[in-house]
Chains A and B, each alone.
Chain A
């Protein structure tokens, strides 16, 4: 796995956390198509494994530049 890809996948776990579990719930009901949920779960498991084995130098300062 390239460094860029590793960084993207590390951020993907945080992305999933935020989009699926965060944000203001303004409408009473949210419907998500579940056809691809397995894909998400599989990816999460794979990523959790890579996080657990992350070396100290894998600590990211910040994945993206702060806003100007």
Chain B
């Protein structure tokens, strides 16, 4: 079995060295899937496994545009990966074009201690202003104890300015707590 990490342009720059495995590509037309061999067992959901996967995708992200592949995606071999690329060529090429030159920034919004705030407040005060600064935006409300979890597709060169904008928003919002992380591969913008 092989595990897939990302869909990228083909051909692309040389693959980065990563710990404990060797990356390879399966190319088909203008697209390539980056993969590594794995044991014939399901992908384990462990913190270490998730971090290792993320480290590989981020190493790839450093010098190429990519669509991250859902964690745990495994196919029999590189031929099967190439066939998937061919079958869904148009859809994947369009999706890769949408994220070209960008990264994802995450912003979570929780109510401040002893403050009452609802998702509508988080949408109006945080998500909508941030979405205006981003190429694309998406969010979930009432997620995992947060009022809102937003994801913003931001030009690579604009990440610092975007994060500064989040900090400025926080300065004006006593009833909300914002947590900003990134830059992430564009996990939330692969459709």
Q: Does B18 sit at the interface, judged by CB under 8 A?
A: no
Q: Please tell me if A1 contacts chain B, counting CB pairs below 8 Å.
A: no
Verify if B43 is at the interface (C-beta below 8 Å from A). yes
- Contact between chains at A40 and B45 (CB < 8 Å): yes
Q: How far is the CA of A59 from the CA of B176 in the complex (A)?
A: 11
Contact B44 A26 (CB under 8 A): no
**A4: interface (CB < 8 Å):** no
Q: Say yes or no: is A37 at the interface (Cβ < 8 Å to chain B).
A: yes
What class of interface size applies to chain A in its complex with B? 35 or more
Q: Are A59 and B46 in contact (CB under 8 A)?
A: no
With A17-B149, A24-B92 as contacts: A12 and B47 at CB distance below 8 Å = yes
- Size bracket, chain B contacts: 35 or more
Residues of B159-173 at the interface with A, using a CB-CB cut-off of 8 Å, are 159-160, 163-164, 166-167, 170
Check A59 against B177 for contact (C-beta < 8 Å): yes
The answer to whether B183 and A66 touch across the interface, beta carbons within 8 angstroms, is: yes
Instruction: Tell me if B179 and A23 are in contact (CB < 8 A).
Output: no
The answer, yes or no, to whether A3 is at the interface (CB within 8 Å) is: no
Contacts A23-B69, A24-B70; A51 near B110 (Cβ below 8 A):
yes
Instruction: Assess whether B145 is in contact with A48, with CB atoms less than 8 Å apart.
Output: yes
| Pairwise interchain contact A24-B68, C-beta atoms closer than 8 A | yes
**A67 touching B42, Cβ below 8 Å:** no
**B70 contacts which of A11, A30, A61, A67 (Cβ < 8 Å)?**
A30
A-B contact pairs, 11 of them (CB 8 A): A13-B108, A19-B71, A22-B68, A23-B73, A26-B7, A26-B70, A31-B43, A33-B44, A48-B144, A51-B177, A67-B156
B contact residues vs A (CB 8 Å cutoff) = 4, 7, 33, 41-47, 50-51, 53-54, 61-62, 67-75, 84, 88, 92, 95, 103-106, 108, 110-113, 143-146, 149, 156-157, 159-160, 163-164, 166-167, 170, 177-185, 187-188, 190-191
